[in-house]
Structure 1
Amino acid sequence: MHRCNVLVVDDDEELVSAIKELLERRKYDVITAFSGKEAIEKASTCSHICIALLDLVMPMMDGFTLLEKIKNIHPDVNVIIITGHGTVPTAIEAIKRGASDFITKPFDKDLLLKKLDVIKKTHELENRISELNELLSEKYGFEQIVSGSKIMAGVFEKATAASRTDAPVFIVGETGTGKELLAKAIHLKSERASHPFIAINCGAIPKELIESELFGYKKGAFTGATRDYEGLFIAANKGTLFLDEIGEMPKDLQVKLLRVLEERKVRPIGYTGEIPIDTRIIAASNRSIEELKNTYLREDLFFRLAVIVIELPPLRERKEDIPLLIEHFIRKFNKKYSRNIKGVSEGVLKSLYQYRFPGNIRELENLIEGIIAVSSPDKEKITEKDLKAHLVWQESKSSEHSLLSLDKLEKFALEQALRESQGNKSKAAEILGISRDTLYRKLKQFGIE
């Protein structure tokens, strides 16, 4: 990790000495120079410079010229121009030439330290993101999943172990936590990676169709069966079938699924014989393990599926991943919408740390996309104003550290999904990862029109 060192350049030796003493008391590493030529020599021999404080008016080489030369050596350096000739045109010119900020003499030392501290925090965050990305890539190999938190390290370790076996995996986590992404990562790290990965949301398909979708059917087996259909178990043969929201599967169909898992054979509707299959099963649900065992799944099916159980934590339990995720989504949607957003303000980051994210990573992704999609082409930073315009939440100091009941969180998620879908209930159900029947039941339960 690079430390945030500061290059101070001014022909006033007393001022340079005073700044050096001030910054060193704040644990900065300080490099000093008294001319443009000396500054370039020192910059050339230094592997990294975080911040450069440059005097605008110096003999032989002015601050603007020095700024360009320093930027050529260290493109990522943050430059603050210092001058006693502070005018609006000068400030504008400094920013145009690549300066991060501008300060006039005599300057307030507290103001200078505040500006430097903001740059330092950004620098440390960028270093942390870089380190965590490298760690994730090297240690876990699940490169498409953005995280560096300790709690997710345990998830990746278990998922990596699961990928080396053919045992069924059950992933449990709230809506929007990335269950399908993890399932796909397990598949891609397994020996089945060259074969199909097929996902089905058991709660999104009408119960009268899900059997034929999973097991297939013979032409003429029922009205509308105009051709043979192999079904997803056979389509995923030698690969992985991901059964998302399996808790929504009707109980009578669970009996048939259990038989397929035990005998590793499937009988399409209308067939008299059985077809052998070699399909790995990964199941998932947004319900708790206790709910699944006691209410939503047959006990024998649960234990057949839950050989390896992986619990994905909600985003509010891995808040240290928020900066990584923000950076990832900014890059993603900059490319999609041809924007050049470079980051978020400190206030935005603080607000997002306090928010509970009932919709988890999916909600954060939708938030960043919504802001970037409507931003102007010259916008470079997401601000608190952008956040308030796109994030529907109540700012209340009394609730920042209090727990909401599960009912309140569930109602909030329903209302937010309806807002996001502009009242389209099919789309709202899709956003929440539940069936339309479940959505209507929940809307009635909470009295939402």
Structure 2
Amino acid sequence: MTGQSSTPSNAVLISWVSVNHRAAPLIPALKDINGKLGGRVQILYLCYRDVPGDEGQRERDSLKETVETLKRELKPHCPEIIKCPWKTSAAPTDHDEIRKFAENVLQDIRKEHPADMLVIHMSPGTPAMHAVWLTLGSTGFVPGPLKLIQTSDQRALGSGKPLVQVVDFRLDTVLRRYFQARPYVTQDADDGQVWNPSAVKSQALKEALETLRKWAPLRTPVLLLGERGTGKTTLANYLRAMSPFQKQQNEEWPSVVCGQFRTNPQLARSELFGHAKGAFTGANKKRIGLLEQADGDTIFFDEIADIDRDTQRLLIGAIEGRGFRPLGDAKLVRPNFRIVCATNRTVSELRKDCLDPDFYDRLAIFVLTVPPLRDCTEDIPLVWSKVLTQSTNTAALQPLGWERFSNHPHLLRQLMQHPLPGNFRDLQRVAFHLLAELNAGTTDDAAVERALHTLSDEIDAPLDEFTPRFPVKFDLLLGTFRRRWFSAAIEKAKGNVTEAARLLGIPRETLKHHISKE
């Protein structure tokens, strides 16, 4: 499947071929006289059943006639048409088989067009095909901008229906809640939605998500451990989306970046517990604390180890439901919330140096070690596309053709082979450097290499952090280190293999052998 978008205002139309009506339902949508699609349609993906025999021939004849009519009627503004064959023996009424095909199509198209508006045309096809489009389009299965449309036949037009209708149908699902909400204080590399839970492939991440599903119904604390940049904020957001501890229609939910309190414990108490007017110098009005704001919801503490011990002891009463008194206020407040905490510290560091023992015991009811990206290599292509798109928004820069690097084979291969000690932050760094190089007019190959060169091979985790990661792909880790040294030596030797081998202190034939295997 190919085809690229060029600007975020583009629309991509996705539809089944209509065996009975051919191009008729598509033409009004593609002309989009009233601008309901959110942008000019640049690409049309036409899905059709590719089955043997007369039935398949009828489908192919319909496809051929549809394409010919569109090119004739829409000339010179006919979009690029990409055919998506469903090679199957299943009936066009088999909901489950249609769903599997449609899920793959939508995931592939979103990967190709990470920032564009995807428009699903529901009119062509069988009722089962309509139902599948409606389900996938209304439940949050596809991240990013998406619309469902249908076109009216003559009977509908006669009753006053518009020619093109946007279908506003939304089901309340975990995925929809996950994609609609995020903690209101997030870091750039982890905006609370770096993973698409429905598209996860790696066993390590699948197990982490399944563990969170088991814990979601309980109003008990959850402690997320992991290296820096592993997506802990995203997992906290997913845990909340699955739980009953969330305020409906609350797009931003309470979160605390604990690092801001390191040098000012008084600020921590004011922010968390609130204060009365006049409670201290500068308290000109009453402040409702984050814990009280989180009543009926979840509250997320990022880097909980940065909270001072006195504040930790105050938090114990709030966690246990005994309540607290805002600064300068005699009234006892008892909010009902679920606390989720994250840190890149180890358990031994938390117990020994960072957390009050009683506070740790309250937090560590459920403890999950978030897997690093090097243990989730199958998921890197999808998250790279997400990070690259996010980085164009953060940097306010979209060099022409940047989307094609979402699926760049060499770039993805190198990212999947690298240990990525900074995890998502490493991906973000590569994305920013790539955008800078492309904007400066650097050639594609050079831009990719310079962006990859910003990665570090250093993994500075303490030894006791390695234990939870076993089993690992040790050959892959060693191979990554070896490749980086070989690349550096060859660059230093300006491509001279003999000189590179001398710099590495290995025989020339050994270096040539490893290069030939890459």
TM-score (norm 2): 0.49
Q: 1:281 is matched with which residue?
A: 339
Q: 2:273 is matched with which residue?
A: 215
Which of 303, 325, 334 is equivalent to 1:267? 325
Secondary structure at 2:259 match in 1: coil
Q: 1:189 is matched with which residue?
A: 242
CA distance 1:333–1:214, change in 2 (3 Å) = closer
The answer to whether the 8 Å contact 1:184/1:197 transfers is: no
Q: 1:53 is matched with which residue?
A: none
Which of 355, 362, 366 is equivalent to 1:297? 355
Q: 2:217 is matched with which residue?
A: 164
Secondary structure at 1:242 match in 2: strand
Distance 2:279 2:392 in 1: 50
1:50-91 Cα offsets, whole Å, 9 max, x none, are: xxxxxxxxxxxxxxxxxxxxx9774579xxxxxxxxxxxxxx
The amino acid that maps onto 2:412 is L
Rg larger for: 1
Describe how 1:346-361 pairs up with structure 2 within 5 A: 346-361=409-424
Which of 301, 307, 326 is equivalent to 2:365? 307
1:316-341 Cα offsets, whole Å, 9 max, x none, are: 22122211112223444567644432
Distance 2:427 2:413 in 1: 14
Q: 2:295 is matched with which residue?
A: 237
Describe how 1:120-135 pairs up with structure 2 within 5 A: 130=108
Distance 1:181 1:331 in 2: 17
CA distance 1:76–1:369, change in 2 (3 Å) = farther
The amino acid that maps onto 1:171 is L
Distance 1:213 1:72 in 2: 54
Distance 1:298 1:209 in 2: 19
CA drift of 1:210 comes to 0.7
The answer to whether the 8 Å contact 1:217/1:268 transfers is: yes
Describe how 1:53-72 pairs up with structure 2 within 5 A: none
Structure 2 residue runs of 5 or longer lacking an equivalent are 2-56, 64-78, 86-103, 112-135, 143-172, 180-192, 466-518
Q: 2:445 is matched with which residue?
A: 383
CA distance 1:46–1:328, change in 2 (3 Å) = farther
1:73-122 Cα offsets, whole Å, 9 max, x none, are: 74579xxxxxxxxxxxxxxxxxxxxxxxxxxxxxxxxxxxxxxxxxxxxx
Distance 1:390 1:353 in 2: 12
The answer to whether the 8 Å contact 2:433/2:451 transfers is: no
Which of 197, 203, 208 is equivalent to 1:155? 208
Q: 2:255 is matched with which residue?
A: 199
Distance 2:445 2:378 in 1: 20
The amino acid that maps onto 2:233 is E
The amino acid that maps onto 1:197 is W
The answer to whether the 8 Å contact 1:167/1:307 transfers is: yes
CA distance 1:349–1:214, change in 2 (3 Å) = same
Identity over the aligned pairs, expressed in percent? 28
Structure 1 residue runs of 5 or longer lacking an equivalent are 2-40, 48-70, 78-125, 411-449
Secondary structure at 2:256 match in 1: strand
Which of 313, 316, 333 is equivalent to 1:255? 313
CA distance 1:337–1:300, change in 2 (3 Å) = same
Q: 1:362 is matched with which residue?
A: 425
Secondary structure at 2:421 match in 1: coil
CA drift of 1:370 comes to 3.6
Secondary structure at 2:281 match in 1: coil
CA distance 1:193–1:177, change in 2 (3 Å) = farther
Q: 1:176 is matched with which residue?
A: 229
CA distance 1:278–1:404, change in 2 (3 Å) = closer
Distance 1:185 1:374 in 2: 34
Which of 298, 312, 323 is equivalent to 2:381? 323
Distance 1:279 1:140 in 2: 19
The answer to whether the 8 Å contact 2:271/2:289 transfers is: yes
Q: 1:88 is matched with which residue?
A: none
CA distance 1:331–1:229, change in 2 (3 Å) = closer
Which range is displaced more, 352-361 or 224-233? 352-361
Distance 1:333 1:46 in 2: 42
Q: 1:392 is matched with which residue?
A: 454
Q: 1:371 is matched with which residue?
A: 434
Secondary structure at 2:342 match in 1: strand
CA drift of 1:312 comes to 0.8
The answer to whether the 8 Å contact 1:187/1:197 transfers is: no
CA drift of 1:208 comes to 2.8
1:262-285 Cα offsets, whole Å, 9 max, x none, are: 244121111123112112111111
The answer to whether the 8 Å contact 1:348/1:384 transfers is: no
CA distance 1:348–1:252, change in 2 (3 Å) = same
